[in-house]
Structure 1
Amino acid sequence: SVIWTYSGLPADEMERRITTYSEYGLSNNVNDIRSIESQTYDGVSVIRLYFHPGVKIESAIAQATASSQSIIRRMPSGVLPPTILRYTAASVPILQLSLASQSLSETELYDYGMYQVRRALGVVRGSTLPTPYGGKQRQIRVDLKPAAMQAMNISPRDVNDALNLQNLALPSGNARVGDVDYRVQINNSPSLSEGIGDLPVRNENGRIVYIRDLANVHDGNAWQTNVVRNEGQRSVLLPILKNGSASTLDVVNQIKDILPSMRAAAPPGMLIQPLFDQSVFVKAAVDNVLHEGAIAGVLTGAMILLFLGSWRSTLIVLVSIPLSILTSLICLLALGHSLNIMTLGGLALAIGILVDDSTVTIENIHRNLSMGKKLVRGILDGAEQIATPAFVATTCICIVFLPVALLEGPALYLFVPFAEAVVFAVATSYLLSRTLVPVLVHKLLAAELAMHDQPGHKKNWIERVNHWFLSWFDRFQARYAQLLQWGLRQPSRILIPALLLVASSLALAPFVGRDFFPVVDAGQIRLHVKGPAGTRIEKTEEIFSQVEAEIRKVIPSEEIELLNDNIGVPAESYNLAFGDSATIGTADGEILIALKPDRSKPTPEYLRLTRDHLNKTFPNLTFYFQPADIVSQILNFGLPAPIDIRISGFKRAENLELARQMIKELEAIPGAVDVHLHQEVDAPTIKLEADRTLLSKSGLTQRDLANDMLITLSSNTQVTPNYWVDPKAGIPYFVAIQTPPYVLDTPEALLNTPISAKDGQQLLRNVAQMQRGVSNTIINHLNIQPVYDVFLNVQSRDLGAVAGEVQKIVNKYKAKQSPGNRIEVRGMVESLNSAFARLGLGFVGALVLIYLLLVVNYQSLADAAIIVAALPGAAAGVIWALFITHSTFNVPSLMGSIMSLGVATANSVLMVSFAKEKMMEGEDSFSAALEAGRTRLRPVLMTAMAMVLGMIPMSLALGQGSEQNAPLGRAVIGGLSVATLFTLFFVPAVFSLVRRKGLEKPLELDEE
């Protein structure tokens, strides 16, 4: 972000003289820019540079700095070099500190937050500290008296010149007199602020005119453009942002450690209170994932104990879970990732798979031991028989996560650690099943087998339950074998229902819907309120009080934990470089609402009710909701809505009219809400047309008039700043010369502004005419071209469906545009389309890689095709599960789909490998398929049940923030459940059909 400041310059002039030329300079001198966006306010320009992936941001910042320094000489006089900051999607507020007091002034609160609180928090690693919102900036005010100046023939510029000539900071030096070296000090600057009033301005016939005769000098504050209220009480708000990959919990914990000492050092009567702590949501979500993982581990362990009937075997399987997770965490930390919701979600997803390799290994060892083999031989044979199939299966699971690497933007930032957590854990699990598990079996099962061989051995309760279960399972296995045999005799009995199921799911897919990310109920509401353009902040504050009262009619007060207002734009333009604030002036602002956990309705329902009520109650105001929780803010990437229709081009009037016409059609789309034009083009404006001939006759120039008007309306702080240093704090404060707004209460009063002339004094009315008009409050650019943004939100409908209808309207209006102009849809919907396209393309590539891997392993195109035959069943199960649970296709559910496809492939690998072994022993395809199904029934069910049981807690979404991973769990459960049926019935049926003529001959090299 590149931030230029030139106080007092209207947005239109700011755009022409600063923003546009700076954009040209940056685009020509900074490498690898993907796009340039800018927002130009009155006196402030914020230019954001977006780069291609892989760019070294440090080099880009250096290039931007050099470019800005080189063009500054072409900027208006008094423009300072811009502030250049790094901005990322992850730089979002994670905590806000409120400073309030019944005894301290707003100026004292702002000063303390600006200098003391920010100094104390500066040591917090991973944090960024914008300047405070609200409060009043301290200034030494020189409030001009127009009547007194007229009487003494003195203009604002004369007062400013006198101040700059007599309140200055210049060194003097030393006087060396005799043997003494004296340090010479001159009273260049008054030691007290009141002394500024004693500075002389003019000598009129021996009479000295002082500043105090022309102005009221006092220790005051800049005119307020930003008001913060906490539960109706004016306060100061200090937002704290986290940097990039820093841990939210770590940053907030560091701040909370500092908070007690900060409160102890605060002035009496000051209350420092943390608000909107995002770490509470993050911690609850993390705890929920850990809780789900623990439940999954217990359920999985109980299932294994039920199947194997050995607590030692169950222990061996469960040992691999913490070891695999620990290894994965070490790998993630080595790559610079932190322990967060996504990495923990990946590990929770992996729990069901982690037991797979060990379970299959132990189950096969038990099967070999049941044949009467000795312990060591049973271990060696059992491990050897599945070594290659297990390796292929594990590789397939890892390959299906390759599409994640093709994501970009926020999705890449969120889901690459997720996929890495799974891959590292699964790979470690396979290594443990090849090394640690056989060793533990040899150490732990020897005593168990010896005990079982003793005569008169009495079974414990675990063995009795296992014996009962295995008896039941043997009957179940026999019935399954009979059913499979019935199906294999006429494969159409299996193939036709399976294909009908797949076809029905394909027909159902369009009704599932698409979202980028599930809606998360974080218990926070962020409402933007926009009044008529040009409304003064005092009036806007009254409007906010009325809106708050209506909000409490919709949301019961006992369910509101906190209600905070942030009205207007901050005094320091530095803050505009951060976050997704859509506030553009004193006529609008945000209301932040924190709801209590025990609320009667979910947050989305309160959003709907509040939106409907406010729009009916205040038809002259504009309301829209912005993302409040940390996840949505990151995914929106700095935009206030998920859909942003950008109409860009140099034909502004034509594009503005298109935007207004488009809004009418967009409002009719079902599910589209908060449709509004972001830009304000009707701010009331007073235009002064100076007569340069009259100015010349009066001995004046346009510069004289402009300087006097600048000082009168915006003070001298921009072009000719002057400072007074507080001797106690050592902090410099502006000495601001300005006519108070309450004096200029009518246009007539403005026309009475005195202007200095060589032959006397002139009033503004004598050399200029006043006209009323309208102008822009904010001007946006996209790649240097002017752009109008139409934002819209989504309610009670999936984002993909709304975006589809939006795109139809956009396509219609594209035909109406003149050449060179563009309409494009940006925002979260762009990330949605990109993520789905890239994941889809990547998944096709992953399937090709899996198929080629299977071909290489089996040296057969047909066997590889048989194995992947179970994948359509997994896809069908995913679609049905999402439809039944009212979930949508989104990135988490796609990740679950990927996982279910990987596990389905792994199970099919084991099934086909066993069937091939039987055929190599001389059996026909029918018998081999039947025996493979009967023998592999237990390990396939154990693997599937481990995954399903592991995903049940996640799919229920019972904890705070758990909504984001619920679709993932549901997709896994649905996909794997149906894929298991396909593995047990469809794959054997296909195998028996394809291999009726026997196995293919393996490839052999010609010895010659």
Structure 2
Amino acid sequence: MTFLAFCVRHAVPVIVAVLLAILFGVLAVVQIPRQLTPTVDVPVIGVAVRYLGAGPQEIEKEIVDKLEEQLNAVEGVREMTSQSQDGGCSIRLEFDWGTDLGVASIDVTNKLNLVPELPDEADEPTIFFGEEFGYPICFISLKGEGKTSDDLREFAEDVLEPYLKRVLGVSRVDVYGGRERQVEATFDPYTLASYQLTPMEVAQALAQANRNTRGGRIDELKNRWVVRTVGEFRTADDVEQVVLRRPGMPDVRMDELLEVSRQKFKDAEAYVRIDAAQGIVFAVHKKTGQNVVAIMQEVYQTVGYLNENILDRQAMRMEVVYDESEYIKRSIGQLNENVFICAALAGAVLVLFLRNPSAILTVFVTIPISFISTFIVLWALGRTLNVVSLAGLAFAVGLLVDNAIVVLENIYRHREMGKGPMQAALDGGREVWAAVAASTLTTVAVFVPILLIQEEAGQLFRDIAYAIAISVSLSLVVSMTVIPMLTARILRTRHGAGDASAQARGVWYWATFQWFGGWFKRRLTGLVAWILARPARRAVTALGILGVFGAALVGFLGITQPTYLPTGNRNFVIGFVLTEAGASLDHNLAVAKEIERRVYDVEAQVPASERMERFFAVALPGRVFFGARSADADKARAMADRVQAAVGSAPPPFLPGFMLEDWFRRNGRFLKEPIAGITVFAEQVGLFQHRGTIGGQTISVTVRGDDIQRLYAIAGRIQQRLAETTGVQFVNPSYKLGNWELRPTPDGKRCADVGLTKADVGYFVGALVNGVKVADFREEGGNELDLTLRGKPDFRRHIEAIGDVPLWTPRGGTVTLSQVASILPEEGYDVIQHTQQQRSVELETAIEPDVPIGQVVEAVRHDILEPMYADGTIPAEYVVDLRGTAQDLARMWRALQWSLVLALVIVYLLMAALFESFAYPFVIMLSVPLAVVGGFMMFWTMFFYNLWLGIPPPQLDVVTMLGFVILIGIVVNNAILVVAQALNYHRNEGMEIKRAIVASVESRIRPIFMSTMTSVLAMMPLVLRPGPGSELYQGLGAVVVGGLLISTVFTLILTPVVFSFGFGATERLHALARRWGLIVGDAGDAP
């Protein structure tokens, strides 16, 4: 007994299997992680070193050069970049996609262990992985009545942060705002010199005293006592009572040298403003692959618990000001609605064509069974439920009934031949299973090349590839098991009392549809017969269709400017502010307050329904960033424009005229005078934010060379031209000129004369100005603070006073700092960047959201770089690279092109195996260029449709281009049906080939149009219903829908015509080969 026969005759096991599949599918839906986009394993490892008080040049020389020398030997590193700036450095190792970061991290750790000794004041290198560089999943504010930001910071770190870190799935929590408390021991250099001491000696004495000493153990009878002398500092008195002993010198207590205070704070690293008040912000990051929705549910529970049980008593309040899960839930909610609409439209098509309740039910059950069962496989494969995977399932809804329709139609045919229900189900299913399996295989096979792409976009493709391939494969299983079983028991034939056609005569719309279907069928088959009657007609038709579509394809490809990934439509706007070089943190705070004031003034002028809900600003050394949340994601783009206008940043004047006019029409009344000395860039947060400072569409122009001043000059000229390029929104250089430094430079000879080393002078200056950590201070409550030795504030308020500070020398006597070091103000660097161990400068360039990045890349190459190389502005020894999304696009475009070729080859070979011919697949493959043209036509239709609606249009990004790959596996199915049935009529029923072709078209019009209409109508909600997340799949849907529509209509004309030529040519070649003796015996109808 065959498996098909078992399923037809044994209904209970089949029903039980279906129920189990639905049960486990529902469990999988509940358990599968939910997040906005698929998990992308970014092949990046970062190494960070904190070195407070050191400048970029010192860090470059003492840390970065040493680390890079070792890390350059790490296996598989594609690119190594680093940044040295005040207080620390970071090194970014980018590996080839697909690299096992676990193995790579071991190699990185081993190489770090080989690094020569780093400065004592530098922290140990810290390693970060891929998504740890990613965008936070939420921001949480903390405010309190009558509380300073310092108070809030201390409470946040000591009490609140541990609660957030304990949330399942959270990788780290960053705290912005306020200052960290420390125990500060301040010294007067004159006092130290009078006691013949240096800051280093004081620091060493404190470090030695701050330790517990193990004293062994004492056994007393049956008890064992561990002896431990406690010397750790617990109070300020403990520090002040430390005695410093020196041979031949009187003892000195620290209270004679130092003033110790537990209520001191480290220098502020950031200031935070939340809704026009000072506060604290928590940035919460998730672990890779974790469920964002589940994490945020627990975060909200934790915040509620903290507010109710801890913060209310402290007059404080925590509030989530940005939550990524809101967008995820809206996006998935919209897709869920689309899935139900898709299923309803597919069901409507079945009703329209079948008009038989039992047949409709039989086919329709394929959708829920296949759909729900898909989640089992996705869960088992470790995938997540996200916008991409759910969009793939929504696209697949219309395809799920294709196999069932073919099987049902064939079983119908056998029933009408007079066979019984069981026999008809067996014969009908057995007869088409090979063709159905082959058709499914071509649809699934095109995704094989996609699964091999390791790049970022390839990992995004995987979820949609898995979703469609799995669901369509499961629909094949359902169509060959459940469908025959059901038809054998509940299916009514189309004749007799249950004749649906007779019933349709009483319903005018069914009768009208039936009449129109018959009329169209007669017209189309008549047209095909008329064309096939004369060779000239066939030639003109084939050449005409191929010529028109070929010219259209060339035209579309000529105007195609690809971009990388969709920009997204979240309800959050992020802004970046570049301030003047060397600007103090207090100055940047004033800038943040001014931006805040202007934004609130502008928002007061718009309707309440369009205003922002939340606003926060963070002032950092060298820059400011801010965020604003909108209640409606569709209003966020307009809010970003208002923010730009509020700070006086109008759009570039070289934008197309209609875009400028539209911008000023909407935002002209909000435009204010620019804020002097700053550059502001505000944009709607995109779907993919893991790369770069800006995020969204960016081109990073990197200039590499040895002379840093020459680098700055070249980069400055490139930046000027970039800012004038159409489509460029903002240029963010990785450097700032005019960053002044006060550089004490020790004189080696003078230092040696008095017994000092350059390191002694450097330590003294560091302790005097920035302070040096000398020990850990553990309070009674268990809090651990830094004990910092630092000069009194009077000696660091004015740069003139530093040179007169006294320093005790080992040879006895006192010198001033200016006597052993030259102290000069010089222009320095705020950051020193390396690329592949060379000094480099990066110009991160933001592209307008609606401008294809490929267009800007071409302009940069041909209009900027090539002329600058030609006229010598860029010397030959300096290298300029295009990186960022431009580099990603180039890599992905190459991979996608190979995937298209490989998909075509795979489909061709599968059809060659199906038809046992290498000629007939060429006939079928001609439907592909028709589909590509149809895809472009529908894409541009939706582009202008969205512009008419006033919403962002779809872009020809790499996700949209995936639609053309999907078309290869789908559109050939209709041509397969026509060719296979024509060969069947010719070989098995002896029809003349032209008559067989016409009969094939006549018999296949109904299932072809039924499957096409179910697929197209089921996908239309994804194309026509813009909303959260739709920018990710709308373009892809437009391509597939357009390709299916156009190819279906013209394939029914072109395929019969070309097949008639191909069949005749094949027969003639076959006969010639027989005559020449190349073929012996009966080799069939195909070579």
Asked if 1:684 corresponds to 2:728, the answer is no
One-letter amino acid of the structure 2 residue matched with residue 561 of structure 1: E
Number of the residue aligned with 1:656: 712
In 1, distance between residues paired with 2:239 and 2:636? Answer: 59
Change (3 A) 1:667 1:832: same
One-letter amino acid of the structure 1 residue matched with residue 559 of structure 2: F
Q: Structure 2 matches for 1:56-455, cutoff 5 A?
A: 56-73=100-117, 75-88=118-131, 91-145=134-188, 155-157=198-200, 159-173=202-216, 188-193=231-236, 195-199=238-242, 210-211=254-255, 214-215=258-259, 217-267=261-311, 268-370=314-416, 373-446=419-492, 452=498
One-letter amino acid of the structure 1 residue matched with residue 1056 of structure 2: P
Deviation at 1:864, TM superposition (A): 1.1
Number of the residue aligned with 2:900: 843
Number of the residue aligned with 2:969: 902
Deviation at 1:387, TM superposition (A): 2.6
Q: Structure 2 matches for 1:971-990, cutoff 5 A?
A: 971-990=1039-1058
One-letter amino acid of the structure 1 residue matched with residue 71 of structure 2: L
Deviation string 1:851-892 (CA, Å, 9 cap, x unpaired) is 122122212233111111111110110111122222432222
Structure 1 residue matching 2:1031: 3-state secondary structure: helix
Number of the residue aligned with 1:471: 515
Deviation at 1:321, TM superposition (A): 1.3
In 2, distance between residues paired with 1:139 and 1:106? Answer: 15
Number of the residue aligned with 1:13: 58
Select 2:832's aligned residue among 758, 776, 779. Answer: 779
In 2, distance between residues paired with 1:77 and 1:862? Answer: 75
In 1, distance between residues paired with 2:1065 and 2:723? Answer: 64
Number of the residue aligned with 1:566: 618
TM-score, structure 1 as length reference: 0.91
8 Å CA contact 2:598–2:646 kept in 1: the answer is no
Number of the residue aligned with 1:524: 572
Asked if 1:892 corresponds to 2:959, the answer is yes
Number of the residue aligned with 1:577: none
**Between 910-919 and 764-773, the greater mean CA deviation after superposition:** 764-773
The one of the two structures with greater contact order (alpha-carbon pairs below 8 A, sep at least 6) is 1
Change (3 A) 1:397 1:59: same
In 1, distance between residues paired with 2:192 and 2:63? Answer: 34
Deviation string 1:595-630 (CA, Å, 9 cap, x unpaired) is 22176574586279549833661352123347724x
Deviation at 1:754, TM superposition (A): 2.7
Asked if 1:673 corresponds to 2:740, the answer is no
Asked if 1:722 corresponds to 2:722, the answer is no
Change (3 A) 1:475 1:144: same
Deviation at 1:644, TM superposition (A): 0.5
8 Å CA contact 2:345–2:1018 kept in 1: the answer is yes
In 1, distance between residues paired with 2:731 and 2:403? Answer: 52
Q: Structure 2 matches for 1:613-632, cutoff 5 A?
A: 613-614=648-649, 617-625=674-682, 628-629=685-686, 631-632=687-688
Change (3 A) 1:731 1:366: same
**Between 966-975 and 645-654, the greater mean CA deviation after superposition:** 645-654
Number of the residue aligned with 2:631: 596
Number of the residue aligned with 1:805: 859
In 2, distance between residues paired with 1:180 and 1:340? Answer: 62
8 Å CA contact 2:407–2:432 kept in 1: the answer is yes
One-letter amino acid of the structure 2 residue matched with residue 969 of structure 1: G
In 2, distance between residues paired with 1:276 and 1:402? Answer: 38
One-letter amino acid of the structure 2 residue matched with residue 396 of structure 1: T
In 1, distance between residues paired with 2:414 and 2:925? Answer: 28
Number of the residue aligned with 1:31: 75
Structure 2 residue matching 1:93: 3-state secondary structure: coil
Number of the residue aligned with 1:572: none
8 Å CA contact 1:193–1:724 kept in 2: the answer is no
Structure 2 residue matching 1:276: 3-state secondary structure: strand
Asked if 1:876 corresponds to 2:876, the answer is no
Number of the residue aligned with 1:49: 93
Percentage identity across aligned positions?
Answer: 22
One-letter amino acid of the structure 2 residue matched with residue 914 of structure 1: Q
Q: Structure 2 matches for 1:484-563, cutoff 5 A?
A: 484-489=528-533, 490-491=537-538, 492-493=540-541, 495-555=543-603, 558=608, 559-563=611-615
TM-score, structure 2 as length reference: 0.84
Structure 2 residue matching 1:633: 3-state secondary structure: coil
Change (3 A) 1:186 1:393: closer
Unaligned runs of 5+ in 2: 1-45, 651-672, 944-953
8 Å CA contact 1:495–1:986 kept in 2: the answer is no
In 1, distance between residues paired with 2:545 and 2:737? Answer: 62
8 Å CA contact 1:145–1:215 kept in 2: the answer is no
Change (3 A) 1:85 1:555: same
Structure 2 residue matching 1:779: 3-state secondary structure: strand
Deviation string 1:416-470 (CA, Å, 9 cap, x unpaired) is 121011111111111221221111111111599775289xx99489977545532
Change (3 A) 1:260 1:676: closer
In 2, distance between residues paired with 1:146 and 1:100? Answer: 40
Change (3 A) 1:791 1:420: same
Number of the residue aligned with 2:999: 931
Deviation at 1:820, TM superposition (A): 5.1
Q: Structure 2 matches for 1:575-614, cutoff 5 A?
A: 586-597=621-632, 602-603=637-638, 606=641, 609-610=644-645, 613-614=648-649
Deviation at 1:407, TM superposition (A): 2.6
Deviation at 1:125, TM superposition (A): 3.5
Q: Structure 2 matches for 1:753-764, cutoff 5 A?
A: 753-757=805-809, 758-764=811-817
Deviation at 1:414, TM superposition (A): 1.3
In 2, distance between residues paired with 1:637 and 1:191? Answer: 42
Deviation at 1:798, TM superposition (A): 1.4
In 2, distance between residues paired with 1:677 and 1:205? Answer: 56
In 1, distance between residues paired with 2:196 and 2:62? Answer: 34
Alignment size in residue pairs: 982
Deviation string 1:916-963 (CA, Å, 9 cap, x unpaired) is 222223333332222222221111111111111111111124222212
Deviation string 1:480-523 (CA, Å, 9 cap, x unpaired) is 22333344442324641453133124213333432212332112
Number of the residue aligned with 1:579: none
8 Å CA contact 2:964–2:1039 kept in 1: the answer is yes
8 Å CA contact 2:596–2:617 kept in 1: the answer is no
Number of the residue aligned with 2:980: 913
In 2, distance between residues paired with 1:21 and 1:273? Answer: 44
8 Å CA contact 2:275–2:616 kept in 1: the answer is yes
8 Å CA contact 2:158–2:783 kept in 1: the answer is no
